Amino acid sequence: MLKKLFIAIVLFSGLLAGLLPLSVHASPLLDPENTIYLDLPSGRVVIQLRPDIAPRHVERIKALTRKGFYDGLAFHRVIPGFMAQTGDPLGNGSGGSGQQLKAEFSREKHIRGTVSMARASDPDSADSQFFICFTSEPFLDGQYTVWGRVVSGMEFVDKVKSGASYNNGMVSNPTRIVHMRVAADVKQ
C-alpha cells in the first residue's frame, strides 16, 4: 500500500512539474486558447502554442488561423528526416500573408515535433510559413522562432508526402491542410 502511494505521489509531482511527457497529460491540461488543431487528411495534429517564448508569433498564427488562412495550404517543402514546411499561399515557398515579424529567438530546442517559423536570410523576415521538425535539429536552435510543439498526432505529420531531395524537398501533388483551428473556437 505504501509503495502504491509513493508511486502515485511521484507521478503526480512529475505531472505538476511538467517532467512527464506531454502525451501522458496532453488533452486535459492544454489551454484551448493556446492550442491549435491542425487537421490533415490522415488525422488531427494537436499543437501546444508557446506564448511564453514567442508571444507575437503566437498571436499572428492565431489571427491567421482564425481567418482561415491556412485551410487548404500545401506542405510545399518536405525533407524526410528533417522537416515539413507549409504556410505559403503560393505553394512554392515565396509567399506569405504580407506581414513580417521580428524574430523571437529562444533557447528552446528544435526536437521532434517542434513547430517553428520559416524565414529568409533576414532574421526578421518570418511571415506565415512554418515547419514541423521530424527529428532533433540542433543547428536550428537560436536561429528560428519556435512557437509551438506537437503534443499529439505526430504520426500524421510523418504521413505528409515528401519532396525530392534533388530539389530541396519541393513536393509535387503535396499533402494539404484540411483545416487549422484554435481549439477554443472548435465546438466539441
* Phi, psi for residue 131 in degrees, rounded to 5: -135, 155
Task: Give domain status of residue 1, yes or no.
Answer: no
17: in domain: no
90 falls within a domain:
yes
Whether residue 97 contacts residue 122, with contact meaning beta carbons closer than 8 Å, is answered with: no
Q: Is 96 a member of any domain? A: yes
Confidence of residue 16 (pLDDT cuts 50, 70, 90): very low
Interior angle at CA 165, CA 92 and CA 175, nearest 5: 50
The count of structural domains within the chain is: 1
Residue 48 lies in a domain: yes
Quote the domain boundaries for residue 68. Answer: 24-185
Mind listing the pLDDT tens digit for each residue in 28-49? 689 999 999 999 999 999 999 9
Please state the φ and ψ torsions of residue 61, each to the nearest 5 degrees.
Answer: -60, -45
CATH of the domain at 72: 2.40.100.10
Q: Is residue 52 part of a domain?
A: yes
Tell whether 15 is covered by a domain.
Answer: no
Give residue 168's Cα distance to chain centre. Answer: 21
Poorest-confidence range of 22-36, 113-127, 174-188? 22-36
Task: Give residue-wise pLDDT tens across range 153-164.
Answer: 999 999 999 998
Give domain status of residue 5, yes or no.
no
